[in-house]
Amino acid sequence: MSPVVKVPTGVPGLDRVTYGGLPKGRTTLITGKSGAAKSILALQLASNFARSGLKTVVLAVEEAPEDLIDSGDSLGFETSALVARGMLRFADLTRTPDTTTIVTGDYDVGAMVHRVEMVAKELGAQALVLDSATALFSPRPSEERLRSQFFHLVDAFRKHALTAVVTAEAPDDYGPRTTLGVEDFVCDAVLVLRNLIDNERRRRTIEVHKYRRSAHQKGEYPCTITNKGLIVFPFGTQPSRESAETSRFSSGFEGLDSMMSGGWLRDSIIMARGPAGSGKTTLAGMYARAGALRGERVAYYGFEETRPMLLRNFASIGLPMDELVQQGQLLLECRYPEATSPEDLLVELRRSLEEFKPSLIVLDSISSVSHSTSPRGFRQFMVGFASLVRDHCRSALLTQVVSDMNEDKIVVPFLSTIADAIIALDYQRHGKKLERTISVTKMRGAAHSDDAFRLLIQHGGLGVQELDGPDT
């Protein structure tokens, strides 16, 4: 069996999920309920195909061509420019609102097929987008006639070697793929878009339901609509380097560096866990400040305090950050996760990685993100974040608030596998005295101290001492 030739989609993340793009010369169905972003993805694909050099025809059934062109331009697809260059053409198949539909005889798409053939030949088209099949087959013919006509339509696309994309309405998120019931045996690939209510918030996902003669990533993947169209967040990693870094860098906390046998490994994800008041944010500040002072770029995302409060608190403990922010070494973003979605936060992190290009990232704390979404949404966010960090070969520090460090349920399995190292911060009260401790519970690829040390919060940050020895 010969391998499937694929056409890259240009949609961020989608080519990773499909292992290269959509099948060349075959038809792909995009399905989902109303509001799932089918038309946006179809328009994005059409514009990307045209931009990559494939002359593309869009059969506009639901929206007028001028409206689609305006939408494409507003999303940065450069749709009107592609039309002007002759790389993209729209065929208007919409019905006027005041038109009365009279049904007589058998439904026949033959005339439309001839029109498509004429436009494709005139343009020299190599790709085609039909939005949507549901609107095209309305009023709906009999099921037998519909299947026959849909097959005739897709067969015409194939005979002309058109890489085709067809959208269709789904009756339910997890039920039949379309209201037409024709995709399983006609189309070579099926993409399912969903816009689900999850913990009183909307969460978008995409799934490759079917892909003939080709492997693809299985399951649902988070996606979101941005001002540049749809973005997909695959879970697999494609690191920009073939081998992992073996060098170390300072955490900014000398005592902790010693506990970790000389510092932290590059390209690692470190998780600092502990109850409120155990020193996690101070540790995050030391980590960020030390990196910026070394000349590295650092992106710090705070989810529990406002920016002025965070800068004030760091300065009051002897960790001034204002100058580093002004110099552009430190990107300090503070927001409440409830005001956005995990998918939009991933978009912001991705933009930061690609534009600001930080080598170190801080999320303080991931517990705030978990409280703003469902367990499933949080897991997808964390796995998506880890994939972004791994892809770009960056280092990250995550803080997590836990109420009882003795409970085994504190680190759920997927968080434990994401973290390359876990630092536990805790405290206990002995009479009137509060005794804080710090220990390294996990560190992949390196030796580390098994002992717990006394943790001191002091001017200049944190310090450690042996439980019965001198400060370090």
- DSSP letters for 157-225: HHHTT-EEEEEEE-SSSSS-S-SS--HHHH-SEEEEEEEEEETTEEEEEEEEEEETT-----SEEEEEE
pLDDT digits (tens, 9 = 90+) for 84-112: 999 999 999 887 665 555 544 555 667 77
pLDDT at 95: 74
In which band, very low, low, confident or very high, does the pLDDT at 377 lie, cut at 50, 70 and 90?
confident
pLDDT digits (tens, 9 = 90+) for 37-47: 999 999 999 99
Report how far residue 126's alpha carbon sits from residue 51's, in angstroms, rounded to the nearest whole number: 12
On the question of a common fold for 6-232 and 248-465, the answer reads: yes
Percent of the chain at pLDDT > 70 equals 89
Q: What is the pTM of this model?
A: 0.80
Percent of the chain at pLDDT > 90 equals 58
Residue 409 clears pLDDT 50, i.e. is over it: no
pLDDT at 146: 77
Residue 58 clears pLDDT 60, i.e. is over it: yes
The lowest-confidence range among 14-23, 401-410, 442-451 is 401-410
| Domain 248-465 indexed as CATH 3.40.50.2300 | no
The ranges assigned to domains in the chain are 6-232, 248-465
In a 13 Å sphere around the CA of 298, the CA atoms on its Cβ side amount to 29
CATH topology for the 6-232 domain: Rossmann fold (3.40.50)
pLDDT at 408: 43
Residue 336 clears pLDDT 50, i.e. is over it: yes
pLDDT at 470: 55
- The pairs formed by 105-113 with CB atoms below 8 angstroms and a separation of 24 or more are 106/141, 106/145, 107/137, 107/141, 107/145, 107/146, 107/149, 108/149, 109/136, 109/149, 109/152, 109/153, 110/152, 112/136, 112/153, 113/152, 113/153, 113/156
Q: Where are the beta strands (DSSP E) in 296-337?
A: 298-302, 330-334
The lowest-confidence range among 18-32, 100-114, 122-136 is 100-114
pLDDT at 117: 83
> Which residue in 214, 211, 208, 176 sits closest to 192, CA to CA?
208
DSSP 403-451: S-TT-TTSS-HHHHHH-SEEEEEEEEEETTEEEEEEEEEEETTS----S
pLDDT at 107: 58
- In this structure, which amino acid lies at residue 470? P
pLDDT at 404: 65
pLDDT at 261: 87
Mean pLDDT taken over the chain:
88
CB 374 within 8 A of CB 199: yes
Task: Kindly state the average pLDDT of the residues 54-63.
Answer: 94
In which band, very low, low, confident or very high, does the pLDDT at 232 lie, cut at 50, 70 and 90?
very high
pLDDT digits (tens, 9 = 90+) for 172-187: 888 887 877 765 678 9
| Residues 6+ away with beta carbon under 8 Å from 193 | 30, 31, 32, 36, 37, 38, 41, 204, 205, 206, 223
Residue 358 clears pLDDT 70, i.e. is over it: yes
pLDDT at 295: 96
Residue 240 clears pLDDT 60, i.e. is over it: no
- The pairs formed by 256-259 with CB atoms below 8 angstroms and a separation of 24 or more are 256/283, 256/423, 256/438, 256/462, 256/464, 258/449, 258/472, 259/438, 259/439, 259/440, 259/448, 259/449, 259/451, 259/453, 259/464
- The pairs formed by 254-258 with CB atoms below 8 angstroms and a separation of 24 or more are 254/472, 255/453, 255/462, 255/463, 255/464, 255/465, 255/472, 256/283, 256/423, 256/438, 256/462, 256/464, 258/449, 258/472
Task: Kindly state the average pLDDT of the residues 388-394.
Answer: 90
In which band, very low, low, confident or very high, does the pLDDT at 373 lie, cut at 50, 70 and 90?
confident
